[in-house]
Amino acid sequence: MSKVFSEKIKIALIQLKGSSADKSANLIKAKNLIDNAMTREPSTKIVVLPECFNAPYSVTKFRDYAEVINSEKKSQSVSLLSSIAARYKITLIGGSIPEIDLQTDNVYNTAIIFNENGDLIDKHRKVHLFDVDIPNGITFKESDSLSPGDKATTISTPYGNIGIGICYDMRFPELAMISARKYNAFAMIYPSAFNTVTGPMHWHLLAKARAVDNQMYTILCSPARDMESNYHAYGHSLVCDPKGNIISEAGEGEETIFAELDPKILEEFRAGIPLDKQRRFDVYTDVSK
């Protein structure tokens, strides 16, 4: 198990306005907002972008905007985010972007993660696709154009391990359990685009549930709400501590929020309520195995 960080870490969540049809403009906006965040808070170590930040969030558009994601031949989005991470020496969770696998022709909703040197250290393909039909609410079916990922993702940083999920993945507790139990992750980060129907119902509840169940920080980064777009994101990017307290939260519009992740809170809460020593795997299955 990795050692959890020993000093406070500052994190920034970039809640940028829902992506336009102009990919280059979307990327420039993301860069400018990160530049602004790092100017305001230069001690920031981790920066997070929202789900599908570089393209319209639409099942009919994912393939049109999809990029090949690898370290050898960097695509437009990968190249830009790599340079930003290297410039500021940050861990950059590049939200998610549409990805195409040229071998299979499958398209994925994929989070891309960079280290302080600008290296693409991992990617997470959204495991659970957003296929819902809520009466008098919303109908959306990602599987019309996307394929699901097939692995849980935990990344190693200089501060300890972090689990990664994307939006609908949050509703399935197993990914967070695996990161927390198997890899001792201190945080779970979900670039997410809940909408104005599902957001009011469960956004805060799920953040608190994943945090308390796994005694870890839970971090949700949403696009800003744009009522002129076809998809209306909920906003309210937030950081939830292991006790279930929301320690930082955005509103609906475009903004950047900051929070400090404190190892003492993590350690004291885990020691005071020692769930890791009290689980009964003789009674139920350990999903992290």
Q: Give the residue numbers annotated as catalytic, written as ranges.
A: 51, 126, 167
Q: Report d(CA 221, CA 279) in Å as an integer.
A: 31
Is 3 a member of any domain? no
* Rg of the Cα atoms in the chain: 18
CATH number of the domain within which 239 lies = 3.60.110.10
Q: What is the mean pLDDT of residues 207-214?
A: 98
Give the tokens for residue 134: 């809520």
Is 88 a member of any domain? yes
Is 4 a member of any domain? no
Domain count, the chain: 1
How would residue 80 be classed by pLDDT, with cut points 50, 70 and 90?
A: very high
CB proximity list for 9: less than 8 A, separation 6 or greater: 45, 46, 159, 260, 261
Is 289 a member of any domain? no
Is 190 a member of any domain? yes
How would residue 1 be classed by pLDDT, with cut points 50, 70 and 90?
A: very low
DSSP letter (8 states) at residue 2: P
The per-residue pLDDT for range 21-51, each reduced to its tens digit, is 999 999 999 999 999 999 999 999 999 999 9
Is 82 a member of any domain? yes
Is 18 a member of any domain? yes
Cα dihedral sign, 207-210-211-216: negative
Alpha helices in the chain (DSSP H): 23-40, 62-65, 76-88, 174-183, 198-214, 263-272, 275-278
Is 173 a member of any domain? yes
> Which residue range(s) make up the domain with 15?
9-273
How would residue 77 be classed by pLDDT, with cut points 50, 70 and 90?
A: very high
SS3 of 185-229: the string is CCEEEEECCCECCHHHHHHHHHHHHHHHHHCCEEEEECCECCCCC
The per-residue pLDDT for range 214-257, each reduced to its tens digit, is 999 999 999 999 988 888 999 999 999 999 999 999 999 999 99
Q: What is the reported pLDDT for 2?
A: 53
Q: Report d(CA 10, CA 38) in Å as an integer.
A: 11
Phi and psi at residue 57, to the nearest 5°:
-85, 90
The per-residue pLDDT for range 147-185, each reduced to its tens digit, is 999 999 999 999 999 999 999 999 999 999 999 999 999
